[in-house]
Structure 1
Amino acid sequence: MPPPRTTNLDELATALLANGPVRTLPAAPKRVRVRLGGTYVADTTRATYVWEHAFYPAYYLPLDAFAAGVLSYPRSGSGYALATLSAGGVSTDRVVVFLRGDGAARILAGLVRVEFAAAEWFEEDARVDVHPKDPFKRVDVVFSTRPVRVRVSGVEVADAKACFHLYETGLPVRFYLPATAVHAGFLRESKTVTACPYKGEANYYDLVLGDGEGDGERRLKDVIWYYRNPKVECAPIAGCLCFYNERVDIELDGEMLGRPETPFS
Structure 2
Amino acid sequence: MPPPPRNLDELARSLLANGPVKTLPAAPKRVRVRLGGSYVADTTRAVYVWEHAYYPMYYVPSESFAEGVLSYPDSSASSSTGNGYRLAVLGAGDATTDRVIVFREGVLKDLVRVEFGAVDAWFEEDTRIDVHPKDPFKRVDVVFSSRPVRVLVHGTEVAHAPSCFQLYETGLPVRFYLPITSVRLDLLRESATVTACPYKGVANYYDVVFGGVEKGAQGGGKEQTLKDIIWYYKTPKLECAAIAGCLCFYNEKVDIELDGKVLERPTSPFS
Is residue 172 from structure 1 mapped to residue 177 from structure 2 by the alignment?
no
Hey, what does 2:8 align to over in structure 1? 9
2:51 matched to which residue of 1? 52
Q: 1:51 to 1:263 in 2, by over 3 A?
A: same
The corresponding residue for 1:93 is: 98
Aligned residue identity for 1:112: V
Residues of 2 paired with 1:153 and 1:111: CA distance?
51
Q: Does the Cα contact within 8 Å between 1:166 and 1:173 map onto a contact in 2?
A: yes
Residue in 1 aligned with 2:23? 24
Name the structure 1 match of 2:217. Answer: none
Residue 147 (structure 2) pairs with residue 146 (structure 1): yes
List alignment gaps of at least 5 residues for structure 2.
215-219
Deviation, structure 1 residue 153: 1.4
Decide which moves more: 114-123 or 206-215. Answer: 206-215
Matched, 1:73 2:102: no
**One-letter code of the match for 2:32?**
R
Structure 1 segments unaligned to the other structure (5+ residues): none
Q: Secondary structure at the match of 2:267?
A: coil
Query: Are 2:199 and 1:205 aligned?
Result: no
The residue aligned with 1:222 is 228
Q: CA deviation at 1:215?
A: 4.0
Q: Which residue of structure 1 aligns with residue 257 of structure 2?
A: 251
Identity score, percent: 73
| Residue 114 of structure 2 is aligned to residue 114 of structure 1 | yes
What is the CA-CA distance between 1:154 and the residue it aligns to? 1.2
1:44-95 deviations in whole A, cap 9, x for unaligned?
Answer: 0000000011111000000111000000011325010100000021000000
Task: State the SS of the aligned residue for 2:12.
Answer: helix
**In structure 1, C-alpha distance between the alignment counterparts of 2:221 and 2:61, rounded to whole Å:** 59
Match of 2:188 in 1: 187
TM-score, normalised by the number of residues in structure 1: 0.94
* Equivalent residue pairs, number: 257
Report deviation, 1:246: 0.8
The answer as to whether partners of 1:246 and 1:260 remain within 8 angstroms in 2 is yes
SS at match of 2:240: helix
Shift of 1:212: 3.3
Q: Distance in 1 between matches of 2:213 and 2:64?
A: 57
Task: Indicate the SS of the match to 2:229.
Answer: strand
CA deviation after TM superposition for structure 1 residue 6, in Å: 3.2
CA distance, structure 1, for counterparts of residue 89 and residue 213 of structure 2? 52
Taking the aligned partners of 2:54 and 2:185, their CA distance within structure 1 comes to: 38
C-alpha displacement of 1:168: 0.4
SS at match of 2:172: coil
Aligned to 1:84: 89
> Once superposed, what is the RMSD of the aligned Cα atoms?
1.4
